[in-house]
Structure 1
Amino acid sequence: MSSSRPSVLFVCVHNAGRSQMAAGFLTALGQDSVEVRSAGSAPADSINPAAVEAMAEVGIDISAQSPKILTPDTVESSDVVITMGCGDACPVFPGISYRDWALDDPAGQGIDAVRPIRDQIRRLVEGLLDELAPADQQAGR
Structure 2
Amino acid sequence: MNGPDRIARLQVLAAGLRAPLYAERRLELPFDRVWAVLADLEGELPHLIPFVREFAVPAGDSELKHARAVDALGLRGPFEVRLAPGWCLMQSRLVTMGMAAVPDGGGTRLAVCGALRPAALGPVQRGYRRLAGERRARAFFRAVERRAALR
What is the TM-score normalised by the length of structure 1?
Answer: 0.29
Report which of the two has the higher share of strand. 2
What is the TM-score normalised by the length of structure 2?
Answer: 0.28
